[in-house]
Structure 1
Amino acid sequence: MSRRKDFILNVVGIVIVVLFLFPVYWMIITAFKSQSEISQSPPTFFPENFQVESFVNVIQGGVGHYFLNSLIIAGSATILVIILSVPSAYALARFNIRGIKTILLIYLVTQMLPATVVLTPLFIVFNHLHLLNTYFAPILATATLGVPFSVLLLRTFFIGIPKELEEAATIDGCSRLRAFLQVIVPVSLPSILVCGAISFFFAWGDLIYSITFNRDQDLWPLTAGVFNAIGRYGIEWSSLMSFATISVIPVIVIFVALQKQLIEGLVSGSVK
């Protein structure tokens, strides 16, 4: 009975994975198809003749500039999220702060708000600060997506770390700051990597903030480039899918390279 149950669960798991990954697979194989093969019926599930002209056209069309902008925005936003969320989560986990439930509720509510709700207030603030048409506006805006999530996740992890670790470090002559940096942060590294990776994914996939706060297309990231390519290429789906394929490469690389740490950080709740 247990074998049959395991078999059914495995089959269900495989079906779910295939359903989620099929759009990605279709995007990639479409990028390698010719325009005539894309429009033929019935569709082919594997390219009959691989072609890379669409990738060459996209690269020559300036995808590298969009790629660099995405790296600057997503990388800077991720660093900012880590700098703000790690000490904030530690303070909320270790100190008796008055109104901590209200603070956590505010973090939770801000995480639930859609981008369209905060778009206009952020635009007004950035306009007064003269941050429009700069990298700073989308960096700060996308960081607001990662900070609440990271604080809530890291606070739960910090609560699970025994206070005896810090007390032992204090006895050895460490200050609270040094104990935090040399003891707590290394122990919490998997969870910090999770927060950093998810914050990077948030910032990398941003579109609405970038095109709203930056009218200068030279500052647009890859997502805005894909959006712009829809009207630029028209029905040239191979070029559009090539653009989209290039845009997801960093996400796939990060997930594959850090999958062990990401899984460990998500499921860890105590010190081993």
Structure 2
Amino acid sequence: MSTPTVPPGVRRRRVLRRVGRSALGLYAIGIGVVSVFPFFWMILTSIKPDREIFTVTPQLWTFHPTLERFELLLSGEIGRQLLNSLVIALGATVLAILFGTLAAYALSRFDVPGRHVIAVALLAIQMLPAIVVIIPLFTLYRTVGLLNTYAGVIIAHMALSVALAVWLVRGFLAGIPVALDEAAMVDGASRNRVLIHIIFPLALPGIGVSAIFAFITSWNELLIAMTFLQQEEMKTLPGALQQFTNQYGTDWGGIMTASTIFAVPVMIFFIAIRRYLVAGMAMGALKG
């Protein structure tokens, strides 16, 4: 029995398809290497001894790793600054998600007068730089006694991300039929129960994406934290990165070690809720 002959045109298309897939795979690997290399270099420099950091030819590995910088930094002020950043970032994230989800539910379910104007206004506020509100907020905080407090910075950081949280969660709630709320209430469920047991679980992908944005926004913020927290024991971690640079030079080993410590909580937070982020992207693709 003879083997069917593959037409030259089909064979050519198969070869081009294989070449295209291989090229796409190599491109993806290249993008991955370029993206990961800065983190690899940061961690590598943090464990290198000083004599291997300041070399004419960069060394892509070290045979004399050291954790002395981590021990020194974590036993000093940076441990307290790390705790301050965690408290503020987690507090701002919780508040942004809470108020953002409630506002998104109201805008998507209730006939709020001017709700479209409110939504656009929230997006416009999100575009304002933080420096615009520094002076008014500083004056207000000094009057009400919120300077040098966690609450003051948490409220300010929450304001930076709550508007986008409203938009993100509102987009997910728009895909949840209102009839689902009505059916639950007909069965005797209260509005709060519908919100907690039905709407929240279905909107978890949008809430997860909003949580990542709110946490990273608060974690990386420097200007507000440096302005409102003037006591040394209240400083956050982004401010600690400045102490390694002065008029005499830069302590590259110290700044890379502090940057590694700075990046770890974000990675842990991202890994903890990554499944909601993936679900959110998939749902967004299906809606598109």
TM class by smaller structure: over 0.9
Distance 1:134-1:229 versus aligned 2 partners, 3 A rule: farther
Give the Cα separation in 2 of the matches to 1:253 and 1:155. Answer: 27
Give the corresponding residue for 2:63. 48
Q: Which has the larger radius of gyration?
A: 2
Distance 1:56-1:141 versus aligned 2 partners, 3 A rule: same
Q: Kindly provide the amino acid, as one letter, of the partner of residue 40 in structure 2.
A: Y
1:61 aligns with 2:76: yes
SS of structure 2 residue aligned to 1:204: helix
Q: Kindly provide the amino acid, as one letter, of the partner of residue 236 in structure 1.
A: D
1:88 aligns with 2:79: no
SS of structure 1 residue aligned to 2:180: helix
Contact 1:233 1:239 in 2 (8 A): no
Select 1:12's aligned residue among 21, 27, 38. 27
Give the corresponding residue for 1:111. 126
Give the corresponding residue for 2:183. 168
* Residue 2 (structure 1) shift: 2.9
Deviates more, 1:227-236 or 1:186-195: 227-236
Give the corresponding residue for 2:93. 78
Contact 2:148 2:229 in 1 (8 A): yes
Contact 1:233 1:240 in 2 (8 A): no
* Residue 233 (structure 1) shift: 9.6
Equivalent pairs, count? 271
Give the corresponding residue for 1:148. 163
Give the corresponding residue for 1:136. 151
Contact 1:35 1:236 in 2 (8 A): no
Q: Which TM-score applies when normalising by structure 2?
A: 0.88
- Structure 2 residue ranges without an equivalent (≥5): 1-15
Distance 1:170-1:264 versus aligned 2 partners, 3 A rule: same
Give the Cα separation in 1 of the matches to 2:229 and 2:43. Answer: 29
1:241 aligns with 2:253: no
- Structure 1 residue ranges without an equivalent (≥5): none
What is the RMSD computed on CA atoms of the aligned residues? 2.0
Give the Cα separation in 2 of the matches to 1:125 and 1:110. Answer: 19
Deviates more, 1:121-130 or 1:210-219: 121-130
**Deviation string for 1:159-182 (max 9, x for gaps)?**
000122212211210122221111
Give the corresponding residue for 1:100. 115
Deviates more, 1:7-16 or 1:89-98: 7-16
Contact 2:222 2:238 in 1 (8 A): yes
Q: Which TM-score applies when normalising by structure 1?
A: 0.93
* Residue 234 (structure 1) shift: 4.9
1:195 aligns with 2:200: no
Give the corresponding residue for 2:12. none
SS of structure 2 residue aligned to 1:48: coil
1:216 aligns with 2:234: no
Distance 1:150-1:204 versus aligned 2 partners, 3 A rule: same
* 4+ residue runs over 6 A deviation: none
Contact 2:244 2:250 in 1 (8 A): no
SS of structure 1 residue aligned to 2:245: helix
**Deviation string for 1:241-272 (max 9, x for gaps)?**
1111111111111222322221112332589x
Give the corresponding residue for 2:41. 26
Give the corresponding residue for 2:13. none
